[in-house]
Structure 1
Amino acid sequence: MNNELKQIVKSALHEDIGSGDLSANLLANNTISAEVICRDKAIICGREYFDLCFSSLDSNIRIDWKVKDGSNVSPGGVICAIYGNSQAIITAERTALNFLQLLSAVATKTSFLVKKISNTNAKLLDTRKTIPGLRQAQKYAVKCGGGLNHRMGLYDCVMLKENHILAFGSLEKCLKKATSQYPNKPIIIEVETLEQLQTALSVNGIMRILCDNFSITELSQAVKLSRGFYPLEASGGINENNIVDYAETGVDYISIGSITKDINSIDLSLNFTF
């Protein structure tokens, strides 16, 4: 378990508990049992975050999981049973469920879109459009749903966009600076037109080209132009209604920010069973 995960959970618990759980303090401090039920059809994700919420308050709490991260669950399914101190369980309940509901939602939406394009060669990527402080968690959820991770942040990949290129005066100058300063980092070039794509195809030393807000017709042309040169990524304006059309152009990757920012929380409930 890494330190970032521990810090995220610690911060989440602190913002909820503050100086103490007033309602939980009214309970007799008995040993009880509880279960978490899923009310939706979902891909479950976030077990480690969920577990840590409880163990941070009481290391003796035991959680018996019925499913693994990445598992399909049907409505009404029991996903885990919990045994331990009643006060600690009820105090950690909301924070633990928040993590599990959010990350399961990301995994579920990702899985839905991955299945839609499963008959094509396109792979689904996430973006940096994540909830602040939860990027690592959400990108893990994307992988649980069958998607792939784009760059984690601004530090692990050079991505040259319009303003970077304008600042240097040309793509060639911008790329030369990037490759000399960061020789061991992957480089992605973003293009907005077929003309810019042709320029990008003429340079060496990049990992792939991102076609931003291309129409399906333009993207089809881009795939033909780039074949044998660089992998292509499509992004912008792509959703569940048109993703298959974009994937069928032959593009290698499709990146969609909505899988981490426009999601509906999975309905989960924690009930005491005594």
Structure 2
Amino acid sequence: MSTLNFDVIDPIIEYALKEDIADGDITTNAVIPGEMQTTATMTAKADGVVAGLPVAEKVFCKLNTNIEWTTYIEDGSFVNKGDVLVQVKGSFRALLTGERLALNFLQRMSGIATETSRYVKAIRGYKTEILDTRKTVPGLRLLDKYAVKMGGGTNHRIGLYDMVMIKDNHIKVAGGITEAVKAIRPTTAAGVKIEVETTNLNEVEEAIAAGADIIMLDNMDNETMKRGVELIKGRAKVEASGNMTLERVKDVAASGVDFISIGALTHSVKALDISMNIDVPQK
């Protein structure tokens, strides 16, 4: 997810434009002459990491193909309050009509990237990677996960189809971790990782014996996680999950886990404040 696949993302943008504009921006079309051209700038109003500039550009290009887009920074860059991110030239109508949608995408994605970067910075010096989850806005998962990458995080599975995740309900129905893994292996393509969720050290031992590729230590305290890592002894990758905070994450990384997954990166987003100022031509 270090790049954006616009074959998939274009329909998201087109739906969002239809939702916001439908048959047209009745206010702008009534007030702004169709031939009027102008220039606009997008500026960071807070410190953070920017993500989503190509998405914002695509919004305007769908409204007017003659838009000129000049970026001064790249996605994944840290910016300070007051930094100009981009200059846009073109149809006044297109810039005014697309302003809110472009900012909605850009601010949300930059908020995710900024929060991710805080967690990545907090565990600097450890081997541990920060993972995202499936706790994304429906329809926006690829954008959310791209933003995590721009913040220095690592994408976990994209959906239910690209990795096995055996959780508590699977284990209960199967009759245990061993039985669940046995049921899954014959139906799973080679190279697809099998992860098992565990909640105590007995389950960790069972997951090791079953041959799990990744073992999740779910909602364990730091000391129990450390003991879990010692039990696993490198025979599987280890993911810590549950109740992760900036204050706690360094101690979790110190336990020796390979990954820390954090749902709050995408389910509790605080948008990065970014403004767009449009020049009004003098009559």
TM-score with structure 1 setting the length = 0.97
Shift of 1:203: 1.7
Residue type of the alignment partner of 1:249: S
> Is 1:114 paired with 2:157?
no
Deviates more, 1:17-26 or 1:92-101: 17-26
- The amino acid of 1:3's aligned partner reads D
Q: Aligned partners of 2:177 and 2:164: how far apart in 1?
A: 13
Is 1:53 the counterpart of 2:59? The answer is yes
Match of 1:250 in 2: 256
1:27 deviates by: 1.0
Which consecutive unaligned segments of at least 5 residues does structure 2 have? none
- Quote the residue 2:32 is aligned against: 27
Letter matched to residue 33 of structure 2: A
SS of aligned partner of 1:10: helix
- The residue correspondences of 1:61-140 to structure 2 (distance < 5 A) are 61-140=67-146
Shift, 1:233, TM fit: 0.3
Matches of 1:171 and 1:102, distance apart in 2: 38
Structure 2 SS opposite 1:175: helix
Tell me the equivalent position of 1:11: 15
Which blocks of at least 5 consecutive residues in structure 1 are unaligned? none
Aligned residues: 273
Q: Per the alignment, in what secondary structure is the counterpart of residue 40 of structure 2?
A: strand
Q: Distance in 2 between matches of 1:131 and 1:151?
A: 15
User: Partner residue of 1:2?
Assistant: 6
Which residue does 1:194 correspond to in 2?
201
CA separation in 1, counterparts of 2:234 and 2:115?
32
Runs of 4+ aligned residues of structure 1 deviating over 6 Å after TM superposition are: none
Q: Paired residue for 1:203? A: 210
Q: Which moved more, 1:78-87 or 1:2-11?
A: 2-11
1:227 Cα offset (Å): 1.2
Q: How many Å separate the matches in 2 of 1:48 and 1:35?
A: 15
User: Kindly, what percent of the aligned residue pairs are identical?
Assistant: 37
**Letter matched to residue 266 of structure 1:** L
> 1:241: Cα distance to partner?
1.4
Equivalents in 2 of 1:79, 1:42: separation in Å? 12
1:216 to 202, 222, 237: 222
> Deviations for 1:33-80, whole angstroms, at most 9, x for unmatched residues?
110111010111002210110000100011100010001111011100
